[in-house]
Structure 1
Amino acid sequence: MNWEQLLSLKRYGDTHKRLRKEQDETRLGFDVDYDRVIFSSAFRSLQDKTQVVPLSKTDFVHTRLTHSLEVSVVGRSLGRKVGTKLLEKYPHLKEVHGFQFNDFGAIVAAAALAHDIGNPPFGHSGEKAIGEYFKIGKGIKFQSQLAPKEFQDLCDFEGNANGFKILTENRKGVDGSLRLSYATLGAFMKYPKQSLPKKPTNHIADKKYGIFQSDKEAFTDVANELGLKATGEGENIRYARHPLTFLVEAADDICYTIIDFEDGINLGLIQEEKALEFLINLVKNNINREKYNLLQYREDRLSYLRALSINTLIKDAVRIFLENEGAICEGTFSVGLMEKSKYKAQIDDIIKISVEKIYNSDEVIEKEITGYHVLQHLLNTFITAAENYHTDSLSNYDKLILKVLPENVDYATDHLYKRLMNITNFISTLSDSKAVSLFNKLTAKTL
């Protein structure tokens, strides 16, 4: 893979190349990507989607929106630092093509901003709730009517693949959805493969999947324009990652490691004294003890250690990327950047505490159970009504249910996979509170 292609400014529907040297420096194409994501309704819905604690009413706990903004800030720094060094290594990128170090930062920032845009309500438990409706719930009846990869898309419903759909799917009058640059779409794709075969290798890019069957054409168009290395055979569409994807992933890893931990402290789930000890252990070689000892309040101590921790991990991620840039561009670097961090032991200690004290806390588990119940009920209600529509057996209740669906949700299509995906995608775009509110209306209950 080569950087000239990987930095493509092309957008869906373009009939000619967009040259970097011809870009308006006050409104660079990669900056436009960021703007389009942040003004999208799908991004705004993240303000009420779970990051750590579902349905939290505490103002200092992160949502998917605040998490995504923070990941984009870290991603921008990673991209700029890497871009500076790459332009020194490959001077023709600047001298011939006109690329600047800020371009790398803008691509990573935009992709990082969008990285959770496809996540359903209630975090990763929401993905599992949707998947299990089809895998072991009432939706299993559709297995015999769908192709294996179509059914697998539903059984392993994946927020990354759903995000690519949201960013690229054609709608009436809106071709290419947000029409982001292909460089940003490439950096967004953490798992550039289909749902089957599952985990064909131990490579990080094969850990999950990132493309629904409905979006294969858009996916391969982006991959081929960017010159991503094909790693699949025959009908198994699979590619190596865009190199900048490793920076998007690292930004996410850094933020959830440090900031989820911070949320646990603020929620009282992790003792402050113990928590600060873990953070100090991470930054012990960089901490200014005199400055730290002057801080009287927990908020200030935590803020100082958070900033220092993030900066420490940013520098380390940049080092790892640059040392392995050749293997990354060959598609042979097989793990996330932070797996090679010299601070991995400290990171693992922090994550272990987060799992024990936050992710497995009673509050989180109880609300995830609520999420399961809500999402599976909504799926069954809307899918049943749509199926009754197609078998001419609509009840008056079904008719009312279908009127609740937004007009852009096509339940009338004769293509079963598309019908199921359209309804599932609609439910996935609901915020946590909207999903609960809709559940309450349909059941005349209050959760």
Structure 2
Amino acid sequence: MDFTKGFAVKNSFYTSFDTECIGRGQSKNDKGRTPFEQDRDRIIYSPAFRRLQNKTQVFLSGEFDFYRTRLTHSMEVSQIGRSIVNHLNRTSTALSDDHHIDQDLVESICLAHDIGHPSFGHAGEQVLNTMMQESGGFEGNAQNLRILVDLFYRDKTCWSGMKPTRAFLDGMLKYKTLFSESEKKKHHFIYDFQSDILEFVSPDQLFTSLFDTEKERNSFKSLECRIMDWADDIAYSIHDIDDGIRAGFISMKNIRNWMDEHNDDLSKDQHGFLDDLCLAIADDSFSSFLARLIGTFIHGTTLVERETPLSESTNRYNYDIHISEDCLELCTLLKRLAISLVFHTPQVHQLEFKGGRILKGLFEVMEQEYLNGRANYNLLPAHYHNAMNNGDVHHRRRLLCDYLSGMTDGFVVRTYKRMFDPDFGSIIDLI
């Protein structure tokens, strides 16, 4: 049975162009599941996905059981993404039962959208990027692609990808600028060696010639990527506020003070919303108050047609989403509130600083041991230690970065204490 053809008949929105796979790894055979279902299932059962349960979202993972981690955040994004797809499939006249946006595809993209992000949130990402400047930088979204295409499976000291479909991989491409082309080289890029991914997702389309600016190139996204991006914005704008209230960072007093400071920047409707939020905090109904916003944002999303250089190749570039101005303004307001009252507090900044120092300390020690001469100590697990014998210094630095970025918050701290704290560690510790 030709599974790709069978799939195309069931849902004409996608063709064999969308379901073609890239890279080495386990093949996708006819197992009674679509290629997009197999992409989703592989993500769910992967170690990289499970490790998100102990990686920071806002507050350090494990600090309290009810705070969100990267894992719970990813699950919430996937639920919102599915709901957006269902809403668009039901309400758009351009879609039908046999011509619709695939829910499994969007779910897999949403589940995997943070799979490459390191410990300690953006602080960890910034530290690794600084340490990797001479070897191509580090970026969480670029690392997503590296895991999917290069590191998903391991056999001794050899890694291979999960052979993602073109539609899935393209949906993960939030940014399409190479590190060497990036002006600031701080974020919003992919690695130079991932140029083959750009060629795969859009054959014969040279992004450097299609777009005049880096911003235009990074804004050229597939329909499913746009849905994931919006679902991510919905999830963290609402849930960062929810976690901030529960942690005591966001209170009626703090909101009122913030409103006074930004009075000239807030519209009448924004004042009204913040007043309602204060009332919801006062009578302890903020959880349901914020939860209702998810439905508002989902129903503020509509499907629109567009023309792009890839329109003739795939429906994924024939359509885009439009988000109502009211929803965009409210989402932006929630982000501003969370940044001011949660992320820019001494408590959060001190923990981010500490996490960054820990990651930097581990990187410097292992770089000295493995990159500046022959290793005298087996500081890395055997498969990484043995792999360090191959390749030039940039390849080995990339392997070291792969290892450190994959570590959970708790694993990073335990490793740091085992190496630097005289009173911590045992020869029977799990490595």
TM-score normalised to structure 2 length: 0.76
Letter in 2 for 1:415: D
Q: For the residues of structure 1 that align with 2:417 and 2:50, how far apart are their CA atoms?
A: 23
Q: Partner residue of 2:247?
A: 267
Select which of 209, 220, 223 maps to 2:202.
Answer: 223
Would you say 1:10 and 2:20 are equivalent positions? yes
Q: Partner residue of 2:6?
A: none
Gapped regions of structure 1 (runs ≥ 5): 136-142, 144-150, 201-205
Asked whether the 8 Å contact 1:9–1:18 carries over to 2, the reply is no
Deviates more, 1:3-12 or 1:373-382: 3-12
Q: For the residues of structure 1 that align with 2:309 and 2:66, how far apart are their CA atoms?
A: 37
- The CA deviation at 1:346 is 2.7
Select which of 106, 109, 116 maps to 2:107.
Answer: 109
Change in Cα spacing, 1:210 to 1:77, as seen in structure 2 (3 Å) is farther
Letter in 2 for 1:241: K
Equivalent residue of 1:232, what SS?
helix
Q: Partner residue of 1:429?
A: 406
Asked whether the 8 Å contact 2:18–2:167 carries over to 1, the reply is yes
Change in Cα spacing, 1:89 to 1:54, as seen in structure 2 (3 Å) is same
Asked whether the 8 Å contact 2:222–2:317 carries over to 1, the reply is no
- The CA deviation at 1:249 is 0.4
Asked whether the 8 Å contact 2:166–2:200 carries over to 1, the reply is no
CA offsets per residue over residues 125-184 of structure 1, 9 Å max, x none?
Answer: 11111122345xxxxxxx4xxxxxxx3x22xx1000001000111666587522332211
Letter in 2 for 1:110: S
Q: For the residues of structure 2 that align with 1:409 and 1:76, how far apart are their CA atoms?
A: 42
Change in Cα spacing, 1:250 to 1:162, as seen in structure 2 (3 Å) is same
- The CA deviation at 1:11 is 2.5
Change in Cα spacing, 1:13 to 1:399, as seen in structure 2 (3 Å) is closer
Q: For the residues of structure 2 that align with 1:425 and 1:294, how far apart are their CA atoms?
A: 44
Select which of 35, 40, 63 maps to 2:46.
Answer: 40
CA offsets per residue over residues 248-296 of structure 1, 9 Å max, x none?
Answer: 1000001110000100000011015876999xx67989xxx9xxx9999
Q: For the residues of structure 2 that align with 1:198 and 1:414, how far apart are their CA atoms?
A: 26
Q: Partner residue of 1:67?
A: 73
Q: For the residues of structure 1 that align with 2:271 and 2:382, how far apart are their CA atoms?
A: 50
TM-score normalised to structure 1 length: 0.74
CA offsets per residue over residues 186-236 of structure 1, 9 Å max, x none?
Answer: 111100231132259xxxxx9954532333334422333xx8x542149x9
Q: For the residues of structure 2 that align with 1:295 and 1:443, how far apart are their CA atoms?
A: 44
Equivalent residue of 1:426, what SS?
helix
CA offsets per residue over residues 231-250 of structure 1, 9 Å max, x none?
Answer: 2149x996832222111100
Change in Cα spacing, 1:250 to 1:120, as seen in structure 2 (3 Å) is same
Letter in 2 for 1:231: F
Asked whether the 8 Å contact 1:270–1:357 carries over to 2, the reply is yes
Q: Partner residue of 1:165?
A: 146
Task: Kindly report which structure 2 residues correspond to 1:237-276, keeping only aligned pairs within 5 A, or say none.
Answer: 240-271=220-251
CA offsets per residue over residues 331-378 of structure 1, 9 Å max, x none?
Answer: 999x9966x632333333322221111101222111111111111111
Change in Cα spacing, 1:445 to 1:184, as seen in structure 2 (3 Å) is farther
Asked whether the 8 Å contact 2:132–2:397 carries over to 1, the reply is no
- The CA deviation at 1:4 is 4.0
Letter in 2 for 1:62: R
Q: Partner residue of 1:148?
A: none
Q: For the residues of structure 2 that align with 1:51 and 1:220, how far apart are their CA atoms?
A: 32
Change in Cα spacing, 1:124 to 1:5, as seen in structure 2 (3 Å) is farther
Q: Partner residue of 1:412?
A: 389
Q: For the residues of structure 2 that align with 1:297 and 1:7, how far apart are their CA atoms?
A: 53
Asked whether the 8 Å contact 2:249–2:342 carries over to 1, the reply is yes
Change in Cα spacing, 1:446 to 1:416, as seen in structure 2 (3 Å) is same
Change in Cα spacing, 1:134 to 1:107, as seen in structure 2 (3 Å) is closer
Change in Cα spacing, 1:214 to 1:198, as seen in structure 2 (3 Å) is closer
Asked whether the 8 Å contact 2:150–2:160 carries over to 1, the reply is yes
Change in Cα spacing, 1:283 to 1:186, as seen in structure 2 (3 Å) is farther
Change in Cα spacing, 1:124 to 1:193, as seen in structure 2 (3 Å) is same
Q: Partner residue of 1:203?
A: none
Task: Kindly report which structure 2 residues correspond to 1:81-92, keeping only aligned pairs within 5 A, or say none.
Answer: 81-84=87-90, 88-89=93-94
Would you say 1:211 and 2:217 are equivalent positions? no
Identity of aligned pairs, percent? 23
Change in Cα spacing, 1:256 to 1:329, as seen in structure 2 (3 Å) is farther
Equivalent residue of 2:181, what SS?
coil
- The CA deviation at 1:414 is 2.8
Q: For the residues of structure 2 that align with 1:377 and 1:163, how far apart are their CA atoms?
A: 24
Q: Partner residue of 1:310?
A: 294
Change in Cα spacing, 1:266 to 1:158, as seen in structure 2 (3 Å) is same
- The CA deviation at 1:3 is 5.5
Task: Kindly report which structure 2 residues correspond to 1:96-175, keeping only aligned pairs within 5 A, or say none.
Answer: 98-101=98-101, 103=102, 105-135=103-133, 143=134, 151=135, 153-154=136-137, 157-169=138-150, 173=155
Gapped regions of structure 2 (runs ≥ 5): 1-11, 260-268, 425-431
Q: For the residues of structure 2 that align with 1:337 and 1:411, how far apart are their CA atoms?
A: 48
Q: For the residues of structure 2 that align with 1:199 and 1:79, how far apart are their CA atoms?
A: 35
Change in Cα spacing, 1:282 to 1:72, as seen in structure 2 (3 Å) is farther
Q: Partner residue of 1:401?
A: 379
Letter in 2 for 1:121: S
Q: For the residues of structure 1 that align with 2:154 and 2:76, how far apart are their CA atoms?
A: 33
Q: Partner residue of 1:139?
A: none
Q: Partner residue of 1:232?
A: 208
Letter in 2 for 1:9: T
Letter in 2 for 1:249: D
Asked whether the 8 Å contact 1:243–1:328 carries over to 2, the reply is no
Q: Across the two proteins, how many residue pairs are aligned to each other?
A: 385
Q: For the residues of structure 2 that align with 1:386 and 1:207, how far apart are their CA atoms?
A: 26
RMSD: 4.1
Q: For the residues of structure 1 that align with 2:254 and 2:358, how far apart are their CA atoms?
A: 36
Deviates more, 1:3-12 or 1:253-262: 3-12
